[in-house]
Chain A
């Protein structure tokens, strides 16, 4: 196994209590004063801003995919369907001002300016494998925080079973949304326990800097054991639901893209081999691992489920 996988630990109570947030925020700001105010400025549209973060709990020894490849080979249909389109059309995405709505089945819904949404949480780096359903993969050092922090703070009600996500809808600027390639806005969803899993990340950066627009600025999901399209970009809304929420690719082609879409070499796809993948930068295909190599961490989420049926 190539991952340096430390056992998943439950978030400590101190990570979710308001007092601790308050104190850590103080530490964060004090540290920031020492390092230099520039490091702490809120992310700015288009600009590559360095982020302040600590090494995270999950890593991998595998070679990181070069920044250039990570930021010029993207699937982000809002900015065009070609792999190079999102980088080329990146300025169509307006990330300022940005707000995130948290609503649905929870006790503390809210509509936050991005700065307020992010400020309580310390950032950490997570080096994850990304496996695209199209049969290619990358290794990316993300910067972000665990989604479960935001979800816990919103206090989901007992009836909440799923979490739905929504990408910005802005056809006036996003040329891709003016064509009906997919139903807009892009939507995704996770089961609540998947969303609460410590591997599930809300990312605001990669390679130590704020996310480039083509990678889903200013805020995106990263679910490393699922195919890349589950990791929704440029999120404006997070909703707790009782029913399984619709997801963009499932809506477009339900026979090919299931709600779960866990990386699974045993579920064949009519377009691409899921048994193997090409790691960007490598010549030969390599075997695709169950749950993208994160089986030790996430397999227990699916005990008793037929994953060929719930693909």
Chain B
């Protein structure tokens, strides 16, 4: 339910409340929906590190929901671009997809999330067995593509892009550290000082 608050906030602004969307409302809608999508996607990537950090297994149950929420917001962002900004103009869509690298990166991230969302049911998990977790590791690629999307669309002020990149680096880096530590444990090697 908390995850739907950004949608409500955006809907209210689109309707002209809370200051509305300003002078260039479609551009603003694109930016805001993209920001929400990015934050939700990074949140989804934060679930596993948070569980490992806190040891709270219950957090894992949130993972699918936050993941689907991220897909929903990325889709909303995608639809604002496709249907509101470009008004389903095929030649403009093709222009964007062929001339603008940041659009290519963002589009690829959405395709990955579409694939992951459509294989997120219990049945799909059972059917794909071990391949399911392999497939769903693609979310890391989606995260990287999303950050690249922001870096490439940035005109000159990289503050926001830098924050996203750092958060992603920490979230993916923590997995790397975790994996290394686990392998050591399996091999029975003592962890070095400071790495436990």
List residues of A whose CB falls within 8 A of some B CB: 68-69, 72-73, 77, 81, 83-84, 134, 136, 179, 181-182, 252, 268-271, 273, 275-276, 278, 280, 283-285
Contacts and interface: CB of A to CB of B under 8 A. Distances in A.
Interface residues of B, number: 21
A69 B22 CA distance: 9
Given A136-B27, A271-B102, A73 B22 contact: yes
B193 interface: no
B95 A84 contact: no
Interface string B95-135: 11001111000000000000000000000000000000000
B15 interface: no
B9 interface: no
B99 A72 contact: no
A285 B89 CA distance: 10
Given A68-B23, A136-B27, A268-B99, 16 more contacts: A73-B22, A73-B23, A77-B157, A84-B22, A269-B99, A270-B101, A270-B152, A271-B100, A271-B102, A273-B95, A273-B96, A275-B95, A278-B26, A280-B23, A285-B86, A285-B87
B101 to A, nearest CB: 6
Contacts, number: 53
Chain A contact surface mostly: loop
Contacts of A69: 23
B54 interface: no
B192 interface: no
A85 to B, nearest CB: 10
Contact of A73 (B24, B86, B95, B96): B24
A278 B101 contact: no
A269 B95 CA distance: 10
A81 B157 CA distance: 7
B92 interface: yes
Contacts of A276: 92
Interface of B: 22-24, 26-27, 85-87, 89, 92, 95-96, 99-102, 152-153, 155-157
Contacts of A83: 22-24
B51 to A, nearest CB: 36
Nearest to B157: A81
A220 to B, nearest CB: 19
A69 to B, nearest CB: 5
Contacts of B99: 268-270
Of B95, B96, B102, chain A has the most CB atoms within 10 Å of the CB of B95
Given A268-B95, A273-B92, A273-B95, A136 B156 contact: no
A252 B92 contact: no
Nearest to A72: B23
A64 to B, nearest CB: 14
16 contacts: A73-B23, A81-B157, A83-B22, A134-B155, A136-B24, A179-B157, A268-B95, A269-B99, A270-B102, A275-B92, A275-B95, A278-B24, A278-B26, A280-B24, A285-B85, A285-B86
B153 A271 contact: yes
A276 B95 CA distance: 11
Of A68, A182, A252, A271, chain B has the most CB atoms within 10 Å of the CB of A271
Nearest to B158: A181
B156 A77 contact: yes
Contacts of B89: 285
A136 B25 CA distance: 12
A181 B24 contact: no
Contacts of B26: 278, 283
A72 B23 CA distance: 8
A255 to B, nearest CB: 12
A283 B26 CA distance: 8
A182 B86 CA distance: 30
Contacts of A280: 23-24
Contact of B156 (A181, A283, A285): A181
Give 3 nearest A-B pairs by CB, closest first: A73-B23, A81-B157, A69-B23
Contacts of A278: 24, 26-27
Contact of A285 (B23, B92, B152, B153): B92
